[in-house]
């Protein structure tokens, strides 16, 4: 993912440096997940970055990522997968965040988002570009996530409760016999002194 970001930035810089004043703007779109691990029934944050790489403002920007996150597999908690912006100024960055909740575990493919826009108000020709892809992601179950990453405090408490009789009972028997032996030894000493 880091390499993809570097390649996108390199392409962005090369396009910006190669443009002249009479060229039109071009829109770069990135897509990434903020979460390190994706877990069923827990929040998944997807971040979109849009960058207008030219000297002119672009208009009627529409992002659509419904195909990557169908409603049968994901629930939208915050944001929308089809945002719209009236304009993005020349050289401006824009960030859009969506919070989803995966309904199913397993492998899921998060392909690119489709973005349409117009290069100027006068030019009604619609341009289309695609965001970067996240690709196949593994959505783990909440139980698997807890098993791998939780602190296991309950497990240790149960282990201690089950292991303590194996330790306490022999200690109690040893302590009882030691006390009995010491009391017999002290009685024996007292009878020897009395004689």
pLDDT in tens, 171-184: 888 988 888 888 88
Asked if 55 and 25 count as a contact pair (C-beta separation under 8 A), the reply is: yes
Q: To the nearest whole percent, how much of the chain has pLDDT over 70? A: 88
Q: What is the pLDDT of residue 21?
A: 44
Task: Give the domain extent around 187.
Answer: 151-195
Cα–Cα distance measured from residue 179 to residue 121, given in angstroms and rounded to the nearest whole number: 98
Cα–Cα distance measured from residue 173 to residue 179, given in angstroms and rounded to the nearest whole number: 10
- End-to-end alpha-carbon separation of the chain, Å? 92
**CATH code where residue 123 lies:** 2.60.40.10
Q: Are residues 64 and 128 in the same domain?
A: yes
Largest CA distance in the chain: 125
Query: What is the average pLDDT across 151-179?
Result: 85
Query: What is the average pLDDT across 90-99?
Result: 93
Cα–Cα distance measured from residue 170 to residue 39, given in angstroms and rounded to the nearest whole number: 45
Q: Are residues 48 and 144 in the same domain?
A: yes
Q: Are residues 90 and 155 in the same domain?
A: no
Say which residue, 112 or 187, is predicted with more confidence. Answer: 112
Q: Are residues 38 and 99 in the same domain?
A: yes
Q: What is the pLDDT of residue 193?
A: 75
Q: Are residues 120 and 160 in the same domain?
A: no
Q: Are residues 70 and 133 in the same domain?
A: yes
Asked if 131 and 88 count as a contact pair (C-beta separation under 8 A), the reply is: no
For 30-77, write each residue's pLDDT tens digit.
999 999 999 999 999 999 999 998 888 899 999 999 999 998 999 999
Task: Tell me the pLDDT band of 18, cut-offs 50, 70 and 90.
Answer: low
- Residue at token pair 């020349």: 90
Is it the case that residue 188 has pLDDT exceeding 70?
A: yes
Q: Are residues 123 and 191 in the same domain?
A: no
């Amino acid at each position: 993912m880091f390499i993809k970001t570097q390649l996108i930035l390199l392409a962005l810089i090369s396009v910006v440096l190669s443009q002249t004043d009479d060229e039109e703007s071009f829109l770069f779109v990135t897509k990434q997940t903020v979460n390190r691990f994706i877990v069923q029934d827990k929040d998944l944050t997807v971040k979109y970055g849009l960058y207008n790489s030219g000297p002119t403002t672009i208009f009627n920007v529409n992002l659509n990522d419904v195909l990557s996150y169908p409603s049968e597999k994901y629930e939208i908690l915050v944001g929308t997968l089809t945002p719209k912006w009236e304009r993005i100024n020349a050289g401006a960055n824009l960030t859009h965040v969506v919070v989803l909740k995966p309904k199913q575990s397993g492998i899921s493919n998060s392909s690119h988002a489709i973005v349409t826009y117009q290069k100027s108000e006068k030019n009604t020709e619609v341009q289309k570009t695609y965001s970067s892809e996240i690709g196949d992601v593994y959505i783990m179950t909440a139980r698997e996530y807890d098993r791998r990453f939780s602190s296991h405090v309950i497990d240790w408490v149960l282990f201690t409760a089950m292991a303590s009789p194996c330790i306490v009972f022999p200690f109690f028997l040893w302590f009882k016999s030691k006390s009995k032996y010491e009391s017999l030894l002290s009685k024996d000493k007292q009878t020897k002194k009395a004689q």
